[in-house]
Structure 1
Amino acid sequence: MSLNIDELLTVTFTLFAVIDILGSIPLLISLKTRMGVIHEFKATLISGALMILFLLVGEKFLGILGVDVRSFAVGGSIVIFILGLEMVLGIEFFKSDGDAKSGTVVPIAFPLIAGSGTLTTIISLQANYNTLTMAMAILLNLVVVYAVLRSLNFIEKLIGPAGLLAIRKFFGVILLAIAVKIFATNASGLIK
């Protein structure tokens, strides 16, 4: 197995666009405010583990559960839609239980970072790229994810409360649109 730099860049940027960690900044800041703290390393580690697990056994695992990739994507789109509604309407659907550990896993590690879009993209890309290229692309994206998670306080100070509110509403609508697209793309074959 060899590492082709062009392929690595293609897979890395594809995953970067799907993970959209920069677009998730307003939601992450909102979640951090609600939970008090985000365990950046743990969120990065768990999302990375999910991505690598899906790289190695994703389709087989879903098959064992009797779930196809499309059903998985539709389920993830519903969670993303609810997160978008939270951002736009200012209503809290995901109640914080005060435990930052659980918030670090859901909804941060999954579905925000390693969501259905990311995991299905990994399965799709695997048809065209080797495992080493895929693993390196995942690792490079995790470095960016960790850097963004570590910088949330700085980003929040830089943007300010009014800017954060405006960006949160804007990206809430973007999240809603992404959720609708994922749902529409995958739901058509499920309902008979």
Structure 2
Amino acid sequence: MIDMAFFITAFTTMFVVIDPFGTTPVFVALTQDMDAATRRKIAIRSCLTAVFILIAFAAFGEAVLGFIGISMPAFKVAGGALLFLTALDMLFERRNKRRENRAEEEEHPDPSVFPLAIPLIAGPGSIATIILLAGQNPGIQGIAAACAVMLAVMVVVFVFFLAGGLIARILGKTGLNVLTRLLGMLLAALSVQFILDGLKAFGFAS
């Protein structure tokens, strides 16, 4: 039986990595000249695409790692390091600047798959996170728990996308920056925990 502490920690980690507060302004920028119905369709397609990608990695990611000879503890250390770099980007605003640059450089009539679903939602950080979360509990139970957490976060992302313009106006640029930095600090602590868990499995930490 998976305890509630796992779901709280997992939801927090996935929420911070996917970062609806940081992704929503990009969605607003990419869909600013579209009507409400088109924006809703793009929000649905981008979220569903990201869900399918993350479910695939939750189900088969660890098997692929085993096939190429990478242990789960080693992936925890590497994934934790990657998440820590993501946290640094959030703390120093580099993440949002890259997202805005992608939005400006990639002018597609339908941005739902790229760049929204990949790599803004289902990017390296979220893929690494869902593999790590699925590996914390054995078998199908761990995969189901990680996918349930991811789906809960994706519901939040979808709601944020639908209310993107309103949220951006309410929080303002300053509010979004403050939230991004707070989430970055939280992600930094969680990423260190992943690294410590990996080292503990190798016997390097108690």
TM-score, scaled relative to structure 2: 0.64
CA distance in 1, matches of 2:75, 2:188: 17
Residue in structure 1 matching 2:135, options 117, 123, 131: 123
Q: Which amino acid aligns with 1:160?
A: G
8 Å contact 2:62–2:131 — kept in the other structure?
Answer: no
Is 1:184 aligned to residue 196 of structure 2? yes
Q: Secondary structure at the match of 1:67?
A: coil
Aligned residue for 1:79?
A: 82
Is 1:27 aligned to residue 28 of structure 2? no
Is 1:149 aligned to residue 161 of structure 2? yes
How many pairs are equivalent?
A: 184
8 Å contact 1:26–1:171 — kept in the other structure?
Answer: no
Q: Which amino acid aligns with 2:55?
A: I
The alignment's C-alpha RMSD in Å is: 4.0
User: Deviation at 1:147?
Assistant: 2.2
Residue in structure 2 matching 1:88, options 91, 102, 115: 91
Alpha carbons of structure 1 residues 86 and 190: separation in structure 2 relative to 1, 3 Å: farther
* Most deviating of 46-55 and 20-29: 20-29
Q: Which amino acid aligns with 1:172?
A: G
Q: Which amino acid aligns with 2:119?
A: V
User: Deviation at 1:102?
Assistant: 3.8
Is 1:63 aligned to residue 66 of structure 2? yes
* Most deviating of 154-163 and 83-92: 83-92
Q: Which amino acid aligns with 2:134?
A: I
CA distance in 2, matches of 1:126, 1:46: 26
TM-score, scaled relative to structure 1: 0.68
User: Deviation at 1:22?
Assistant: 9.6
* Most deviating of 129-138 and 62-71: 129-138
Q: Which amino acid aligns with 1:91?
A: R
User: Deviation at 1:152?
Assistant: 3.0
CA distance in 2, matches of 1:56, 1:23: 19
